[in-house]
Structures are given as C-alpha cells and as structure tokens.
Chains A and B, each alone.
Chain A
Amino acid sequence: MTDDVNKNSSPLLSVRDLTVSFRTAQGPVRVVRNLDFDVPRGGALGIVGESGSGKSMTSLSIMGLLPKGGTATGSVRFDGTELLGLAEREMRGVRGDRIAMIFQDPLSSLNPYYKVGTQIAEAYLSHRSGVSRKQARSVAIEAMERVHIRDAARRVDHYPHQFSGGMRQRIMIAMALSMEPDLIIADEPTTALDVTVQAQILDLLSEIRQETGAGLILITHDLAVVSEVTDEIVVMREGVAVERGQVEQVFSDPQADYTRRLLDAVPRIDDEIGLMRTTDILIPSERRSVR
C-alpha cells in the first residue's frame, strides 16, 4: 500500500541536471544547461522560451531523438526508469507507447504517401503484438472520433493533404492518443495554425488530459497558449531555466527579469494607448489574450 502511495505521489517525469551538447566545428556547444523540472502524474508543464532557447532540444532528448552530433547528460527519470542511456530497443518501446510526441507542422509531419488511418494505426500495430489489421483500424477510427473528426469511419482512408491544417493537427493528436500514453509532449502544437483553430486544439488537449489523466508537456513561445493549458511553467533562455513555478504565480509575480520582459511584451487589451515598452527580445506573440 505504501508503494501505491509512493507511486502516486512521485512525479511522472523527473528531469535533473539535463545538459544537451552538440559537436560543432568550433567545439562543443551546449544548447541546454543543467535543466531541472518535474512533471507530476496527470500534470501539465509548459516550457516557454524564444527560438533557440533549447526547449525543443529538451523534448527531443527526453525521447532520445536528438539529431546527429547531439548528446544528453544528466537524468531523465520516467515512471522510475532512467531514459538517458537506455538501450535503443527499450527506448523504442517507450516512444509512441508511453510517451507520445506531437510536432509543430502537421503537414510535413505526416507522410503524404499513406492514408491517415495507416499512420495512426502504425504505432498500435508496432507496439502491440498479435493484433489484427482490423483491430488496428478500429483503434484508428476511435482515435479520430476522440479528437472530434467527423465521419471518421470514412475519413480514416483519406490522405493528409485532404485535411485542413487544424484537422491534421487533430490527426497528430489522435496518433498520440491511440496508444494511451502516460505522457504527451506537444512541441509548438499550435504555432502553424490560425488563431481560432489554436483555441480548438488547446481545448482538445485539455479535454484529453482530463479524460485520460495523461501528463502533458507543452512547449511554446506563446505565453497566451501556456496560460490556458498548463499548471506549471518553466521559462528557458539560451538553454537555462530562468524561472519556474505555477502559472498564475509566475504571471502575476515574475521573479526573473527575463520573464518580466516576456510578459511585458505581450500586448494587453487594457494597455494604455501610447508607447509600448521596448525590449531587446523578440515579441513572442502578437496574439492577444483577451481576458
């Protein structure tokens, strides 16, 4: 019994001292430095930062998908198992099945030559032994229905280009869902989408979290997105975490200077008309958060 209690209170994902470096002609470059964070079971963490802050590399290193020349050191404990240094075979078992990832551009992230049903069912057929194509197909249809794609039984045989941008992202989510993962990592899931569709996708992510109890890591440069979906956020800058805490906390009382400037850069509807404060960083998003 004590074990159960421990299990439930220990974080789903625990990252300690994560450092990601790349071999370059100029020597090793560290794109992520000494990163620490936890994702509680069923919790949602947002990783926020500009391009180049290392947020994507963080997620890729969790998944063991770093591009050539990249190495990750430190510790990434997922449900008790150390992922860094795990044998590729075991890692494959984790990927897609226990941790699923959703990427930024759904059009290029889907293979144009195969039906979406095939691509959704792939993971299922790969990870579960002894299942038939028929079963896999119904899993795919079910997943599509869960992400509210209408007429799923027919559209499961369509190709990626036959869907709109928002729908394609839903398909990516369906792909992630189909295996009922414990953790979903969404890397800029809404960046390539229109504002209205963004909201839908974010709602969908929240809904799924509630239904399945899966954990979520949401990576974005968009503060508005983060504020809607996540409980906790980590603010990254040039590979280092500059701030961490509960979302409301960080937004209302940012500790780090950088965080403050990020927040200031977001135009608010109740801003005074006049000069906007200039910052030396990119304005992360022009989307207003209408509150």
Chain B
Amino acid sequence: MTFSSTSLESEATPAGDSSLETTLESPPASGRRLFRAFVTDWGAMLSTAYILLIVLMAIFAPLLTMLSGWGPYQFDQSAIDPNLGAVPIGPFGGISAEHWFGVEPGSGRDIFARIAYGARVSMTVALSATLLTTVIGVVMGLLAGYFGGLIDLVISRVMEFLMAFPALIFMIAILSALPADNRVVLLVIVISLFGWPYLARIVRSQTLSLKEREFVEAAKASGASSGRIIFREILPNLQSTIIVMATLAVPGYIGTEAGLSFLGVGVVPPTPSWGQMIAAATPWYAVDPMYFVIPGVFLFLLVLSFTTLGDRIRTIATSGEARS
C-alpha cells in the first residue's frame, strides 16, 4: 500500500497492504461488464464527480481567476484590516462577491485563486507520482515475479531497503538539502522513489501465481517469447489490480504532497499549494478559521473521493470476479 493514510507520521502501515493483497490474491477477470456496475454505484459516481470538478478547476485555473477577478499572486490591501493585525474584513474570512472564498490574512491574496492554482499542484504531483510509481512498480514487479532467481533477489532486496526507510523523514531531508527550483519535479521523483515498492510487491506476488497458470504454460509450449508472455498473457490479468492500486495511491500522494508542503519542503511560495496554505493558516486558526478550513475541506474531500473511488472499484472488481 502506498501512503493511503494521510497520517504521514511513519511508514504506511502494512495493515492496509495485507488487506489489499488478500482481496486481490487471485487476479480478477476482465473489466468490460464491470463498467456497468461502476456507473450505477453512487459512491463511485459522486467521487468521480468531485474529482472531475477539481481536475477541471486545476486545468482552467487561469480562466476561473479571470472570471473571479483576482489572481493568486495579487495583494488586495483593501480586504484586510491593518488595525486588527491584517485580519480579513467581513465574516468567514472575508467571503464576499469580490472574493468568493475570502482573502488571506496578512497578504490579502484571494483564496479562491490560490485554491484553484493549488489544485494544479496537488493534482499534478499526485497524478505524476502515481503514473511513475505505477510504471516502475509494474515493471519491477513483473520482472521479479516472472524471471525469479537473481533478478528477483536483487529487486526484492532493493524493495525491502526502500521500504525500511522512514519515508517521510527521508523525503523531508532530501528535499531540504536540494535547491529550490523544479520543486514539482523533485517532489514527484522523491515521492515515487519511496512509493513504487508497495505496488511492485503486489504485482510481483500476483505475477508469481499467474506464472503457474495453464495459459502461461500453453503459451510457453507454443514457443512464445518471455516478452510476449509477459505483455500478452500476464499483464492483462493484472489490469484490475493495477487500476485499484493506482486509484488508491493517488490520495496517499495527495496527502504526502500536502504534508510535505505543510512542513515547508514542498512547492516554494508564492506558488500556492493547499498544504502550504494550511501551514500558513496555522497561526491564524483562532481568529480566522476559514483560512485553514477551506483548503482543509478541499483536501479532505479530494482524498476522500479518491479513497472511496478506489474502494468501490476494488469491491466491484472482486465481486465481479466472484460472479465470473
């Protein structure tokens, strides 16, 4: 399991890991009829809707901020009260027709704009990291599982080594030691570095059991090359597993990026990130709770949506398999 809990205090507990492994022990069947089950599941549909909303918000951030009138880097001194310590004027952190989500205390920046642009960071980092870890994890898992022997030995040791690291602390350490440019890329790389073993482990164990199945033997007997077998026979059977794992990885990475930004090693200000906004909101929490509530709610709902989505997909995939 990749950090699918946002309590980033330590390793992702293997707890979730084993439950995922047991439910996906025998690789589930195809994915066609599952689609129909998917669209009728309201948990899955609601989650997807919210995710799409955020994705759209991220993509169209510039457009949206043009509509709302304020960019993420603009200071609006008129919205904050200098006599009260730069607190936003008006209730709920200064929510008004001007500033749909209010303004930041101290700087007067429009929160809606920063949320919209922050969505970019969250989604970009999370999705890229998911893509990277999925690719690496699947490749490594397949190689280790299919070829066994020395390859498996080496890959497994590397996986164990990486999983033994206290990932959060390491990520913080590495990120803090590196210069501040290309933060997003760095974040993706660092997160992926520690994330791929969890996926690879599951892919490996499923490959191991698939390897023994008749259709693989048949393919071998008919002279298919290893490459062919891996890509034509084994990989398709891993489809559902991969989809579930990827979907469940995303919320973890969202949380990880937010956590790292919260701690100050994520994207550098003034680039907005939801985690960073919450960090900035910490000293203001008593007088302007909206400042942390708004990004907090967005974060919460996004992680919730992805987790629910992953859960629903997994349920549909495994019950579909049971029926077939």
Q: Is there a contact between chains A and B in the complex with CB atoms less than 8 Å apart?
A: no
- A: residues with CB less than 8 A from B are none
- B: residues with CB less than 8 A from A are none
